[in-house]
Structure 1
Amino acid sequence: MTSRLTSRAAVTDGRGGFHIDTTEVAAPGPGEVRVKIAASGLCHTDHQSLSWDGPLVMGHEGAGYVEALGEGLTHLKHLTEGSPVLLNWAIPCGQCPQCARGSANVCDRSMGVKPELGSPRAAEGHTRWRGQAIQRAFNLGTFSEYTLVRAEALTPLPATVPLDRACILGCGVMTGVGSVLNVAQVQPGESVAVLGCGGVGLSAIQGARIAGAGQVIAIDRNPEALARARPFGATHLLQAPLEDPQGEQLLALLKGLTDGRGVDYAFEATGVHALAFLPLRLVRHGGMALQLSGAHGERSVSLFDFWWNKRYVVPLYGGCQPERDFPRLVEWWQRGQLDLDGMVSRFYALDELPQAMDELLAGRNIKGVVRFA
């Protein structure tokens, strides 16, 4: 095993920019695994990471092959070199109270609640760039030929699964599908509305279809984005009016489809903070509104919007339990119930990442994926 490997990677400058450069990735220590990345999906969080403290290796939605194993692995002991794996950015410790109660997506170690449990990242100095130690986005940094991670970040994949599709399971698909099935727990025949028809929104629509929802209403201002929703399971399409700051026109349209009641569940997946509370107005009394996009910023809301047993939830990562959810997502793909091929609009080489980011921001793709040779 080579002690350190050179690896081309996308490195941020902490000022809104990035460039492709050569890094060095250390050999795995105890409890660590070095992974050769095969493919990495893009999402809007990658663009946000350009302004985080840098330098930083970008990317958090990846799949690849085990390249080297550290000693003392207590997690996934059956991994071998060459095993295909999916990377998971909410890295559970498996020991804390949250993990014990089935809430690994908000693991105390991963969220920094209990420092005595250690760190979800690989040992210090795991990645070096221009002579200095740097960190990796979400402790993964998947826009890189190689990465070094805690073994708990990995889920084995069947050899038959194409990694340039499977990689998108590790963030956007899990967030959307999981929020419907794990968090909202939509039941057959119930009604769902999804605001925003990007990668997360379309994944939520797929989750609603898998759940057997009777009515799945896709909502978007962009007619091209809205048209994408039908093949993934939308039963109705609503183009949101452009001049409707309070959502009154949209609410009237939606109530016209739901016998004046509103839907059982409404999911926000736009990333626009001004729309974060709009789902509360779209659900019936006793309904659930869920904000999936992680929208930031301040926004006022009337307390009346919460009245009559309505619930507002901001789930993280679709309630992901890696050992339960990723095999289930793969099984649905194998059965033809989950469409990953249709979610990937375009593939890019690492050197094309600037173009890929531009097209992400322009909304031209559902999901773009960087493939490594």
Structure 2
Amino acid sequence: MKTKAAILWGQNEKWQIEEVELDPPKEGEVLVKLVATGLCHSDEHLVTGDIPMPLPVIGGHEGAGVVVQTGPGVTEVAEGDSIVFSFIPSCGRCSYCARGMQNLCDLGAHLINGPQLDGTYRFHARGQNIGQMSLLGAFAEYTVVPIASVVKIDNGSPLDKAALLGCGVPTGYGSAVRTAEVKAGETVVVQGIGGIGASAVQGARIAGARNIIAIDPVEFKRTKALELGATHAVASVEEAGPLVVELTRGNMADSFIITTDRAESSYISPALDLVTKRGKVIVTAVANFANADMSGNLFMLTMLEKQIRGSLYGSSNAHHEIPRLLELYKTGQLKLDEMITKEYTLDEVNQGYEDMRNGTILRGVIRF
């Protein structure tokens, strides 16, 4: 079949909207009609080369839609089912899935290769095979994906909001609730208030944190952080320091979550300085793949048992977390409507990323 998609043909180029050829689903795959796709910063990392994925590629990995067709062997979903994509597939059988770490499933090794799990491509354009970001390619009206990347949700769920549950919300929420293990009464610092940082703020609020300090140089984002549950919002880590001392009577923060547009080595040392004994620095933001340096006081790391933890997908199990977060939304505890600043058409994807770079949106969503 033919469909329309946004393709990245070269590094630091714009997304090109064009008609592509899409093959039907093979064994263990499904054809999905997209309803909405979030504009996540990870797709921007493809443009800048921070994530080294072979090009050309159809972007998009934070999406929701309806199953149109199932391939041979698929029994988990049927035509007409509402689904959310999980940007990390989970097989349910590997050592990591078996130990409850579906975010670290062995299938994740295929995320930035380009082709599907069997090594072949589903999209084609200009006489070339086109890869799919995270095996999904959600910047398209229709896409074919592995059943391992599909999470069924209740039919009738608002798919334009549920799309955010495919990446940004569980990543941020889980960074606080799962990776940082925030508990009632704790003090949490969140650096960088985009879609993931705003979700980390919400996770800390839902977990019962007493103080939630949001850091972002953009006033609009600081205001949104306060609306979503932050108790304080400042423009820089330097401003946050005295505030943390005051709020904790010198005990410092229990966790510091880094959710900036890109992780930088220089962020680690100041974050370590602001956490308490056994305090946790959570690195959720993606760094350039070649960045191999970090700084910090190793003596204090040992003597005060401070911790640095990476957080992929918020240390979450998508098949459990996505329906659970949807329930939190339906009961009013998790705010999704307030996260979406602006909607775009697929043709406006480049404008959406320009707005993101300019700091004028918290989360943009493509509506199909």
Shared fold by TM > 0.5? yes
- Match for 2:243 among 231, 247, 253? 253
- Match for 1:362 among 354, 358, 364? 358
How has the CA–CA distance of structure 1 residues 186 and 318 changed in structure 2, closer, same or farther, with 3 Å as cutoff? same
Deviation at 1:224, TM superposition (A): 2.3
Deviation at 1:277, TM superposition (A): 4.1
- Match for 2:286 among 286, 291, 294? 294
Q: Does 1:329 align with 2:325?
A: yes
Q: Which residue of 2 aligns with 1:91?
A: 89
Contact 1:122 1:150 in 2 (8 A): no
CA distance in structure 1 between the aligned counterparts of 2:202 and 2:239, rounded to whole angstroms:
26
Letter in 2 for 1:108: D
- Match for 1:35 among 32, 36, 42? 32
How has the CA–CA distance of structure 1 residues 83 and 317 changed in structure 2, closer, same or farther, with 3 Å as cutoff? same
CA distance in structure 2 between the aligned counterparts of 1:155 and 1:202, rounded to whole angstroms:
23
Deviation at 1:91, TM superposition (A): 0.5
Farther off after superposition, 51-60 or 338-347? 51-60
Q: Which residue of 2 aligns with 1:268?
A: 258
Mapping of residues 5-154 of structure 1, within 5 Å = 5-17=1-13, 18-50=15-47, 51=49, 52-73=53-74, 77-111=75-109, 121=117, 124-154=120-150
CA distance in structure 1 between the aligned counterparts of 2:239 and 2:343, rounded to whole angstroms:
38
Mapping of residues 192-341 of structure 1, within 5 Å = 192-240=188-236, 250-270=240-260, 271-273=262-264, 274-296=266-288, 297=291, 298-307=293-302, 308-341=304-337
How has the CA–CA distance of structure 1 residues 99 and 358 changed in structure 2, closer, same or farther, with 3 Å as cutoff? same
Deviation at 1:217, TM superposition (A): 1.4
How has the CA–CA distance of structure 1 residues 69 and 318 changed in structure 2, closer, same or farther, with 3 Å as cutoff? same
| C-alpha distance after superposition, 1:325-373 (max 9, x if no partner) | 011100100000000000000000011111111101111100000011x
Q: Which residue of 2 aligns with 1:163?
A: 159
Q: Which runs of 5+ in 1 are unaligned?
A: 114-118, 241-246
Letter in 2 for 1:294: V
CA distance in structure 2 between the aligned counterparts of 1:289 and 1:279, rounded to whole angstroms:
6
Contact 2:220 2:360 in 1 (8 A): no
Q: Which residue of 1 aligns with 2:171?
A: 175
| C-alpha distance after superposition, 1:93-119 (max 9, x if no partner) | 111101100111111232369xxxxx9
CA distance in structure 1 between the aligned counterparts of 2:361 and 2:110, rounded to whole angstroms:
34
The percentage of aligned residue pairs carrying the same residue is 37
| C-alpha distance after superposition, 1:164-215 (max 9, x if no partner) | 1111111111111011112222111122111111111110010011111111
| C-alpha distance after superposition, 1:6-34 (max 9, x if no partner) | 11000111222220011111111111101
TM-score by length of 1: 0.90
Letter in 1 for 2:26: G
CA distance in structure 2 between the aligned counterparts of 1:159 and 1:365, rounded to whole angstroms:
29
Query: What's the secondary structure of 2:109's corresponding residue?
Result: coil
Contact 2:110 2:134 in 1 (8 A): no
CA distance in structure 1 between the aligned counterparts of 2:189 and 2:39, rounded to whole angstroms:
25
Deviation at 1:57, TM superposition (A): 0.6
Deviation at 1:123, TM superposition (A): 5.6
| C-alpha distance after superposition, 1:44-66 (max 9, x if no partner) | 11111124421101111101110
TM-score by length of 2: 0.92
Contact 1:121 1:149 in 2 (8 A): no
Contact 2:218 2:359 in 1 (8 A): no
How has the CA–CA distance of structure 1 residues 80 and 24 changed in structure 2, closer, same or farther, with 3 Å as cutoff? same
Deviation at 1:136, TM superposition (A): 0.4
How has the CA–CA distance of structure 1 residues 129 and 305 changed in structure 2, closer, same or farther, with 3 Å as cutoff? farther
CA distance in structure 2 between the aligned counterparts of 1:332 and 1:343, rounded to whole angstroms:
14
Letter in 2 for 1:65: V
Deviation at 1:67, TM superposition (A): 0.9
Letter in 2 for 1:84: S
Q: For the aligned residues, what is the CA RMSD?
A: 1.8
Query: What's the secondary structure of 2:106's corresponding residue?
Result: coil
Contact 1:276 1:295 in 2 (8 A): no
Farther off after superposition, 161-170 or 293-302? 293-302
Mapping of residues 340-351 of structure 1, within 5 Å = 340-351=336-347
Query: What's the secondary structure of 1:81's corresponding residue?
Result: coil
